[in-house]
């Protein structure tokens, strides 16, 4: 079915610590995952751009063309994420110069906060780089993908998601200064430990959530602190300075948002330090503190994530846990002793379903690399359900 297509992959990401500070000039600590978004592509002899999602077969093909893409005309569908990247690359001297048939498949849980949008953006950018032979480095790729999501899709995200997807490295997290984009790779010691992501099945949607409101509140706090401090970003401030000048921020809610960003930045720095020292116990405590800050100061967790968090940290084999991603739904990330993972899933999952009335889904994850080219036959290894594959074949026959 895909024998005449080229195939590319870009990972999703999980942020280990450093939440909602990538737009406040602070440090984040994400890692790429081994799951993400695949795109199967072949060039066309005309100017049509045709987008098909194996995850959304009922929507059929969404169609555009090179002229509409260059004008920034949207399809008002999932296709606007890859289309926005093509528009952005074309405007920055990496043009898409022929029509394309594009078939997307993602194995990231939808709406879980694992950056499915960034994964789709990065795989599109990487595909354009490879298909059209451009010398586009991965940091520039991340910047252009962020610009696309901000300006084409209207989601005011920071750089972390795209950077983590583009720059991922196996068995390493990325210690990233979001103000300067200086970064280093930090090995994550996982001997006897599993990285367990729990999907609350309470999806978030950043474009119509409180995400942009939180950014605005941080901007207000920064403007007021600039009256007494020579700073460019909230995360230029250390906690002691914040405590000294916190009353400059008149609104209590805005003050709490600033407190989260400033203290979270300090927690991230310490987390990297103790992880390098092999102090997993302190690292776990910092994860817990990070969640409580997101709950109490940033108010971006909610009942579903809080339930998963409290059940996790009450489990004896859990080293640390917290919500991850934009919040307002999505996932938690937990470090769990490997021999206790099955018991962890059962205990936390049972308690969550009893309290929330919905089931959580657990994923034992590995830390993976950034984007890559794949064998086009990989789709047969990804899609395990014969029934689903029959649906896909039927839909493909209609359109391709």
Two structure tokens written together for 324: 């991850």
Tokens of 131: 């298909």
Parallel, antiparallel, or unpaired: how do β-strands 48-53 and 62-65 relate? antiparallel
Among 22, 80, 161, 236, the one annotated catalytic:
161
Distance, in Å, from the CA atom of 93 to the CA atom of 360, rounded to the nearest integer, reads: 44
> Kind and range of the H or E element at 28?
strand 27-28
DSSP 73: -
Give the neighbor-by-neighbor strand order of the sheet with 62-65. 62-65, 48-53, 100-106, 30-43, 6-15, 372-374
| Helices 160-167 and 116-132: angle between axes, nearest 10 degrees | 50
Measure CA 39 to chain center: 18
364 contacts 339 by C-beta, under 8 angstroms: no
Catalytic: 296?
Answer: no
Map tokens 């941080």 to a residue. 218
Alpha carbons 121 and 144: distance in angstroms, whole number: 9
Joined tokens for residue 265: 């930045």
Q: Using an 8 Å Cβ cutoff, are 157 and 188 in contact? A: no
Alpha helix segments (H runs only) across 94-186: 116-132, 138-151, 160-167
For 26, the 3-state DSSP assignment is coil
Cα angle at 66 between 61 and 69, to 5 degrees?
80
**144's torsion region: left (phi>0), alpha (psi -120 to 50) or beta?**
alpha
What are the angstrom distances between the C-alpha of 185 and each of 23, 166, 170?
21, 13, 10
Q: Please state, in angstroms and rounded to a whole number, the distance separating the CA atoms of residues 326 and 271.
A: 20
Beta bridge partners, 101, equal 42, 50
Q: Active-site positions? A: 161
């Amino acid at each position: 079915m895909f024998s005449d297509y080229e195939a590319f992959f870009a990972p999703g990401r999980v942020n280990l610590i450093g939440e909602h500070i990538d737009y406040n000039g602070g440090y984040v600590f994400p890692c790429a995952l081994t799951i993400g978004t695949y795109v199967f592509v072949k060039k066309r002899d005309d100017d049509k751009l045709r987008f098909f999602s194996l995850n959304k077969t009922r929507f059929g093909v969404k169609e555009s063309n090179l002229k509409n893409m260059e004008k920034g005309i949207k399809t008002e569908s999932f296709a606007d994420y890859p289309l926005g990247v093509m528009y952005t690359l074309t405007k920055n001297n990496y043009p898409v110069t022929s029509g394309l048939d594009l078939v997307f498949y993602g194995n990231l849980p939808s709406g879980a906060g694992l950056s499915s949008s960034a994964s789709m953006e990065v795989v599109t950018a990487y595909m354009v780089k490879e298909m059209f032979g451009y010398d586009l480095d991965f940091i520039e790729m991340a910047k252009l993908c962020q610009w696309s999501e901000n300006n084409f899709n209207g989601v005011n995200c920071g750089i972390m998601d795209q950077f983590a997807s583009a720059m991922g490295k196996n068995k390493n997290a990325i210690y990233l200064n979001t103000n300067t984009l200086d970064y280093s790779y930090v090995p994550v010691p996982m001997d006897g430990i599993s990285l367990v992501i729990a999907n609350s099945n309470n999806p978030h949607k950043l474009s119509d959530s409180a995400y942009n409101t939180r950014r605005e509140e941080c901007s207000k706090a920064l403007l007021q602190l600039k009256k007494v401090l020579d700073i460019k970003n909230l995360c230029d401030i250390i906690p002691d300075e914040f405590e000294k000048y916190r009353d400059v921020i008149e609104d209590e809610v805005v003050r709490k948002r600033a407190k989260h960003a400033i203290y979270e930045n300090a927690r991230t720095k310490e987390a990297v330090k103790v992880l390098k020292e092999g102090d997993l116990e302190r690292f776990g405590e910092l994860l817990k503190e990070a969640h409580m800050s997101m709950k109490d100061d940033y108010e971006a967790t909610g009942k579903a994530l809080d339930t998963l968090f409290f059940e996790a940290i009450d489990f004896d084999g859990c080293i640390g846990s917290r919500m991850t991603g934009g919040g307002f739904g999505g996932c938690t990330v937990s470090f769990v002793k490997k021999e206790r993972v099955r018991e962890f899933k059962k205990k936390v999952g049972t308690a969550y379903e009893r309290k929330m009335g919905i089931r959580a889904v657990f994923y034992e994850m590995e830390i993976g690399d950034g984007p890559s080219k794949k064998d086009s036959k990989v789709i047969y290894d990804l899609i395990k359900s014969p029934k689903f594959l029959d649906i896909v074949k039927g839909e493909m026959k209609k359109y391709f």
